[in-house]
Structure 1
Amino acid sequence: MKAATIYERKDKLYFHSSSKTTAGVWVITAPVLAVDKENTGEVGRALRECLAASREGVSHPKSFTDLFHPVLELAGVKSFSTFVKSAKCIEVETSDDVTVTLIPTRNDGVDDGFAPLPYKTEATLSSDEALGSVVSAALAMAE
């Protein structure tokens, strides 16, 4: 399986790839990207790039402290707490590199993070424009 996460904060979308460690834990991995949320073609391209970079069997980190730091840098904020206060999030996964599942989440705050909502959207990895439109629709369902 391959996975990525997309956060919406202000007028930007922040993407990162997720990879599964040798211990079975999903962690943030490169690339970490920021895209104007109105540019649907770039949104689709960024998602496709993050999914392509997702791997299984990456080294398990010794520390989880700074894993989110690249996202914070792109957003221009110093803490996860500040970032989360105004963020929406969707999780994206694919097991066949053809169809993606987008899972909107509910923002439960800095202590509890993002909880998956029961609304899932299936889409094909077709054009970047079409994929970007599906991302926008899924983010509209996130809370």
Structure 2
Amino acid sequence: MLSLFKYNWQVREDWFTWCESLPEGEFHKERVGGMKSLRETLTHIIDCELLWLNSFMDEKIVFEKRHSLTLLSEIKDYSTFVQTYTESLIEQLPSDYENQIIEIQRRDGTILEFTQKKILAHMITHEIHHIGQLSVWAREMQRKPVSSDLIIRNFE
């Protein structure tokens, strides 16, 4: 599991670097689809990682500056903060994590049950989904997107 998170984090870092070359307006510009902007999509990816990470925790992890993120550097700091906790969680998973159930209460009060393994798999694929959206927007801007080719990356 950790190797796939490392893959995602490496691709995310590459997107951060890619965004550094953009005019600030392009980073914030509202677009069609996804979370409406590069900034919002990158923030959303990290938000969801933290949301699901917190489903494992008795005491919730909070990034105090979350509601004031506008600069790429601030989003990068948020990413590093969440990544540290996620990596620690994965390294401490019980050997039977694929059978450990976590209950999630929906807004309507219903309870859903998922294994820790399924939640981690969802966290991984959620980011991959949004990376695809960033790639579409990059092409719309006539720019080459970050390569997300897993086979050629060294992330172990």
Q: TM-score, normalised by structure 2?
A: 0.30
Greater helix proportion: 2
Q: TM-score, normalised by structure 1?
A: 0.32
Greater strand proportion: 1
| Higher relative contact order (CA closer than 8 Å, sequence separation 6+) | 2
Larger radius of gyration: 2
